[in-house]
Structures are given as structure tokens and as C-alpha cells.
Chains A and B, each alone.
Chain A
Amino acid sequence: MNENDQFWLPGVSRRKQRRRTRLWVMLAAPVMAILFQTYAPLLAGVFSYLELPLLMVIYFSAGRRSPIGGLLAGAAVGLAQDALSHRPIGLLGMVKTIAGYAASSLGLRLDTDNPLVRFFLAGFFFAGHQLLFWILRRALLNDPASPALAATFLAAVVNGALAVPLFHALDKLRENP
């Protein structure tokens, strides 16, 4: 069994396997995800349950395996989402900053190329993202919205399922070693 066949490895070993993605893909993909997030729900309401910007943050953070890069990417994407919303800027920024940091930290120890890992990683991060966002809204804005746990769980499964083919497609845009 070599290192690539194991789900869990020490961080130092994974750091050597840093995924190299083209720069334009790193810039264009989150922008496209934000575009999708602002545009697709107008066509069908079911698209509002998808969180493509979060999936982008997870993918690039886990692949780069750099916590600072991950948290900065998460902050940028989150702030952009905040800027397009009616809420104060920084709420989603904080949530996605934490998500980017956690994803890159986990990427050091997990085989994030494995589809099953990707499914659970995306689902788990989506649920955590929603929970943290709800907590921040209640704490900072006194927003009385309910957490909608069942809907969140279902959306987590859907986003996890979507992450597998989406990450696979992004893998095709990697730089050749």
C-alpha cells in the first residue's frame, strides 16, 4: 500500500502532494460559482439550495493544502457574496474564512481526491457553514431565523453529491505534473 491509497496521512506527507491548478481556473471558477449562485435561482428555486462558492472554497483550499491561502480564498469569496447580499459585509466572509482554513487543514491529512471523502467533506462543510452562519446571524444581527435542520441536512446531501462530479471536472483542469 503506498501513500496514495490511504485516506489519512500525516500532514507533512500530504503537503508534498499539493495540487497545482492553473491560475485562471482558480480565478474564474469562484467567479462562475458566484454568478451561478446569483443567476440560477432565478430560473429555478431549487438551485438556491446549492452553495457552489463554498464548494469552490473547499476544493481549492483542500487541494492547495495551505491554511493561509485557504482562509484568504474563503474570505474573498465570502466577502464577494456578502457584497451581493442585503446583509452586512463580513458575515459570510467570516464563515467561509473558517471553512477555507478548516478545509485546507483537513486537506493536509485526508485524501481529498477520493470521491467518498469529497462527498462527506462537502456535506459536512455545507452543514457546518450553514450552522455557523445561523449562529453569527443570531449573535450579531439578532436574526430570529430558525436553523431549518431537515432542509439543511437534505441540502448537505445534495451539495455533497454535486461536489463529486464538480471536483472531478475541476481535476481535469489541473496542470500536468
Chain B
Amino acid sequence: MESLLNRYRNLTVLLAVILLQLLLVAYQVRTGADVPLLRIWAVNLVVPPGRILENVRSSAVRWWTEYVFLTGARRENRRLQQELDRLRMENRHLRSELGTAERAQALSLFRAQIPSQTVAARVVAAAAGVNSKVVFVDRGASSGVRTGMAVINAEGLIGKVTAAYPSVSQVMLLTAEGFSAGVIGGQNRVQGILKGLGGTECGVYYIHSDEDIKPGDWFYTSGEDRIFPRGLPVGHVKSAGGEKVFKDIVLIPASLSRGIEEVLIVTSPVHQSLPDEQPAPGNAPLMAPPARDPSTASKAEPAHAPPALETDADRLLGRYRKKAESRGAPYGDNDAAAGSAPPVPPPKPLRP
């Protein structure tokens, strides 16, 4: 037997080693137990060198990427810089587009609120010349624009159309020399004449020095000029002084404070009422549209009751009403004339 084992010693050892391992596997599979000691040894043998290797590798990679591969970094930096420039330009363009959309939306809301019929237009050019106070808008005679029509935006009065070409119109801004409009103080209802001073401001003339006008007071269009519908914000008083018969009042226009891009051309003006409250400077309120419901309108204000402030045209209209009533026929009380009708027939545009 011993000689047999010696003869097949290698094979015997092989079978013994395999048998031992087979028993080990069988024990683990059958009992579900593990051989933790062997695993711990193996892990302790492998993990520390692995950690060192990983540190060496990461250091080498960092050294390579941060020091050796600088040419690639510079190229990447240039590419990123170009990308950043492009994105900045795109961002600027999108901001501009967003601003345009917001202005257009505000103008659209304002247009829906005011009773006058308007045509939206965009400023496309300014007149050539230093400190020019004339601009061109992209709506002309083909869109119903006529010379003398008022031009407004959500902030208030902008100017008036001085020439209507087929597809464009020329607009004189209210700050231009030669511009004039009838205005009325929002607080004490004192009336005056607005004139452009050629700069960034306007003057209000023919207001008696006894009137109480303070800086910050708001002025609105009075409607007396038969051009601009009554009630449009014009601007607030910057200074009011003078020792003569009339006050020297300087007005800061509300509509030009943020520049003008989109405007409304009033094709069929309707008077509005003046606000009762004094607005804060630089924050001209939008006026609510007149009530369209005749029953509500009659409850709120009798049809024949005199308005708080009458113009000559209103007084003329009152006489027409009285005459019509004396004949037994109502005058002008229909849906189309709801609110305050302008003193001229609607189909014809107003002219100075």
C-alpha cells in the first residue's frame, strides 16, 4: 500500500487537495456558512495595495490632465470662451425679444382698456437730425392713419401724426418745438396749453400764478384742442414757479421715460374721465374704460347730468340733447355712443 502511494504520490496529493476543497465547498453550500478568516486575509492582502495603486493612478491622471495636457485645456478654454460669447449674444437677443413681447402685451392690454379706437404701430425710424423730435411709424394712410391723429402708448400721450404716407407716418413728439395740446391738471382741474420745449421736457402755459400747482402734480389732455381725447396722461410737474401773471411750469412727459417702440394711433377718439386720485410721479395710472352697459351707466351717472368738467363741445352736445328732448326724440343714447362720445362724428377723423 505504501509503495502504491509512493508510486502515485503526485496523483494522491492532487486527489487529496481536491477532495479537501470539495468538502469545503460542500460544507459552505450545505450549511450556508462562510470561511470568513480566509476572506479577511485575502481582502487585507489585496485592498491596501489596491488603495495605493488607486492613489497613484488618480495622482498620475490629475498630473496629466492639469499639467501635461495643458494644450488641450487651452484649446478647450478657447472653445468654451467662444461658446460663452455666443450664448451671451443669444441671451441678449432673447432678452430683447422678451422685452418687445412684454411691451407689446402691455400695449395690447392698454388698447383693450381705452375706449378710443386705435391702430397699433411700431416706430421704425427717427428723423435725420440732431436731437430730432420726430419719428416714423410703420402705419400710414392705407391703415386709416390721417394727419393730426393723436399718438399714445400705455404711459400716456406721445405726440401727433404730422404726415401720413401710404405705409408710414411721421409723428411729432410732444417734446418737439411747435407741438401744442390742451391740458388739464388732475388735482384742481386747471387748464393750460402744453408746448414742446425742444428738449426732453414740455412747458405748460397760460395757467394763472394764483393756481396751486406743485411739483409732482399730473396733467392730462383736456380735449379742448379737438385733437387729443380727454383724459390721457401727459406728465407730471417738474417745477412750477414764476412771479408774473402766468406760472412757468415745466412738465416731464410720462410716455417718453422708457423710450418708445410700439405706439397706438388714435383713429377714433373717445373722451375719458379724469382720475379722482392724484397719481404718484412716474406712475401714471391707466384709466378704466367707460361702462358699456347702458343700465349700469345710467345708474352710475345720469345721461343728462352735466359732467364734472365741461368743454365747449360738451356744452354744445348738451344743447343738442335739450333740443332733441324738447322734440321728444332721444339723442345719442345707443350702444355705439356708450361712454363719453367725442364731440365730432366718429367716421371722420379729428383734425386740428
Contact = CB atoms under 8 A, between A and B. Distances in A.
A93 interface: yes
Contacts of A105: 10
A72 B17 contact: yes
Contact of B50 (A39, A79, A97): A39
A25 interface: no
A25 to B, nearest CB: 16
Interface in B232-254: none
Nearest to A40: B53
Interface string B47-59: 0011001100100
B297 interface: no
Interface residues of B, number: 27
Given A71-B13, A83-B38, A90 B24 contact: yes
A97 B35 contact: no
Contacts of A71: 10, 13-14, 17
Given A67-B10, A67-B14, A141-B29, A93 B42 contact: no
Nearest to A38: B46
A79 B18 CA distance: 12
Given A38-B50, A89-B28, A90-B28, A97 B10 contact: no
Given A35-B49, A88-B29, A90-B28, A98 B18 contact: yes
Contact of B39 (A34, A83, A91): A83
A94 interface: yes
Interface string B27-71: 011000011001101110110011001100100000000000000
Given A39-B53, A97-B18, A101-B10, A140 B25 contact: yes
Contacts of A94: 18, 21-22, 25
Given A39-B50, A101-B14, A90 B9 contact: no
A155 B275 CA distance: 90
A107 to B, nearest CB: 13
Contacts of B45: 31, 34, 80
A88 B42 contact: no
A83 B42 CA distance: 6
Nearest to B41: A83
A83 B35 CA distance: 8
A40 to B, nearest CB: 10
B14 A93 contact: no
B25 A90 contact: yes
Contacts of B41: 83
A140 B14 contact: no
Contacts of B35: 83, 89
Nearest to B32: A88
B21 A83 contact: no
A97 B42 contact: no
A68 B9 contact: yes
B262 to A, nearest CB: 61
Given A68-B13, A90-B28, A97 B38 contact: no
A139 B17 CA distance: 19
Contact of A35 (B18, B26, B50, B57): B50
A145 interface: no
Nearest to B40: A83
A75 interface: yes
A84 interface: yes
A83 B38 CA distance: 6
10 contacts: A34-B45, A35-B49, A38-B50, A79-B21, A83-B42, A84-B39, A84-B46, A88-B25, A90-B22, A90-B28
Given A94-B18, A98-B18, 19 more contacts: A39-B50, A43-B57, A75-B21, A80-B45, A82-B38, A84-B39, A84-B43, A89-B25, A89-B35, A90-B21, A90-B22, A94-B21, A94-B25, A97-B14, A97-B18, A98-B14, A101-B10, A140-B25, A140-B29
10 shortest A-B CB distances, which residue pairs?
A83-B42, A90-B21, A88-B28, A67-B10, A90-B25, A90-B24, A83-B39, A93-B21, A83-B38, A94-B21
